[in-house]
Amino acid sequence: EAGVAQSPRYKIIEKRQSVAFWCNPISGHATLYWYQQILGQGPKLLIQFQNNGVVDDSQLPKDRFSAERLKGVDSTLKIQPAKLEDSAVYLCASSSETYGYTFGSGTRLTVV
Amino acid sequence: SQQGEEDPQALSIQEGENATMNCSYKTSINNLQWYRQNSGRGLVHLILIRSNEREKHSGRLRVTLDTSKKSSSLLITASRAADTASYFCATDPTGNQFYFGTGTSLTVIP
């Protein structure tokens, strides 16, 4: 089966600009996750979707971050406006009831 | 915190040796997973072990779980240079979410 697709792979923006990331999960996977991984740290869950509904967004900085999952399939994560501390790799993962997660390759964001 | 904490933070071994890394956590869990992450790449799932299991094997990987001590270990036998990566444990306290630790950076020297 195809993996989790993410784009872009890399993005460099200036602080206070906006940026959006896209994720296409594995077909049929109802659950989709966005993680933020700062250099040298483990991934931190930002938001979890079940189909097109939000299950948990308690760690999403809602003043600047937003996410949606269109028709329970693709998802976008947006940051507006970006801060220097948002520099990180943003990982998307999807899962089914069977077994673990499948992660995408991530988007590496650099805010300058 | 529901995060696992890996130990050691960094490990360097010679090719052919075994590598052991440990994970401790604070809350009760349903499952625990181990992942590998090569530099600049996404996470690759290695093994999932359920709370009622004590040991699982997959190829050169052996995972143990001691729920009484809230700890898990990952053993990689006969290590190869290609095993060089960061290894993370991820704990699942609720049944549908995983929380990652800070990882162990493994370097296998050819």
Confirm or reject contact between A96 and chain B (CB < 8 A).
no
B54 vs chain A: nearest CA distance in angstroms? Answer: 18
Q: Which pLDDT does position B1 carry in this prediction?
A: 47
In order of B5, B34, B44, B102, the CA distances from B70 in angstroms are 11, 15, 23, 17
Confirm or reject contact between A44 and chain B (CB < 8 A).
yes
Does the pLDDT of residue B3 top 60, yes or no? yes
pLDDT tens, residue by residue, A45-63: 999 999 889 999 999 999 9
pLDDT tens, residue by residue, B65-109: 999 999 999 999 999 999 999 999 999 887 677 889 889 999 999
Contact A45 B43 (CB under 8 A): no
pLDDT tens, residue by residue, B8-45: 999 999 999 999 999 999 888 888 999 999 987 789 99
Confirm or reject contact between B81 and chain A (CB < 8 A).
no
Q: Which pLDDT does position B36 carry in this prediction?
A: 95
For residue A93, the chain B residues in CB contact (below 8 A) are 43
Query: How confident is the prediction for chain B on average, in pLDDT?
Result: 91
Q: Which pLDDT does position B42 carry in this prediction?
A: 83
In order of A76, B31, B67, B93, the CA distances from B90 in angstroms are 24, 9, 14, 10
Q: Which pLDDT does position A101 carry in this prediction?
A: 79
Nearest to A91 among B42, B97, B103 (CB): B42
Looking only at the bridges linking them, the beta strands covering A44-50 and A31-37 are antiparallel
Residue B70 burial by CB count (10 A; 0-12/13-18/19+): exposed, middle or buried? Answer: middle
Of A27, A37, A51, nearest to A89 by C-alpha is A37
* Token digits of residue A74: 């693709």
CA dist., res. B48 & res. B63, Å (int): 9
In chain A, which residues have pLDDT < 70? 1, 98-100
Of B69, B70, B61, B3, nearest to B36 by C-alpha is B61
Confirm or reject contact between B103 and chain A (CB < 8 A).
yes
CA dist., res. A29 & res. A85, Å (int): 31
Residue found by looking up tokens 């993962």 in the block: A93
Confirm or reject contact between B88 and chain A (CB < 8 A).
yes
